[in-house]
Amino acid sequence: MATFYTYFKENMEGLGLPAPETLFGNLQAAVGTAVVILSQIDKFGKAVTVREIIGAGTKLEGLTVIAGLSAAFYVGAVIGSIAVALGRTLSGGTTMLDVLTTATQYNLHRPWLVAELQRKPGLYQPNTPFRDQYRFQAVYA
C-alpha cells in the first residue's frame, strides 16, 4: 500500500522538484517544512528564493539543488503535493478545493496561494500537460 510520502514524492518528481524524505517523509514533516518556508516568505516577501531561505539558516539544505527557484513557487508545489498525497491516500483524487482546504486546515494558506494554484494547476493535477516544465518558469534571475 502506498504511503503519504510515496504520493507526495511522486507529485513533486512529476514537477521535476526534489522532495527529500528528511523534510517531507510524512504529513507532519511536510507541513512543518511548508510552515518554515512560508514564514520566510511572510518575512521577506513573495520574491524570496529558496537560496535566500537556506541562507537564513532554516536547515533546508536538502533543497540546495533548487536554490534559484522562487520559494513561493516551491511551497505552492509542496502544498499542492500535500493535498495530492492526502487526497490519494484518503479518496483517490485532488481538486483545487482540496488543496485550499488542506492549506487552511494546516494554516498554510496565504493571500497569494489561490493565484499561484490557478496559474499552475499542475502543482496538484498530475495529468496537466507540461507540468514537468514548471520549475524552469519559477527561476528568478
Biggest CA-to-CA distance, the chain: 42
Cα distance between residue 85 and residue 79, in whole Å: 10
CB atoms within 10 A of CB 55: 10
CB 73, CB 114: distance < 8 Å? no
Residue 18 is predicted with a pLDDT of 93
pLDDT tens for 36-93 read 999 999 999 989 999 999 988 888 988 888 888 899 999 999 999 998 888 877 765 6
Cα angle for residues 95, 100, 104 (degrees, 5° grid): 150
Q: Could you tell me the pLDDT band of residue 141, with boundaries at 50, 70 and 90?
A: very low
Please state, as a whole number, how many other Cβ atoms lie within 10 Å of the Cβ of residue 46: 15
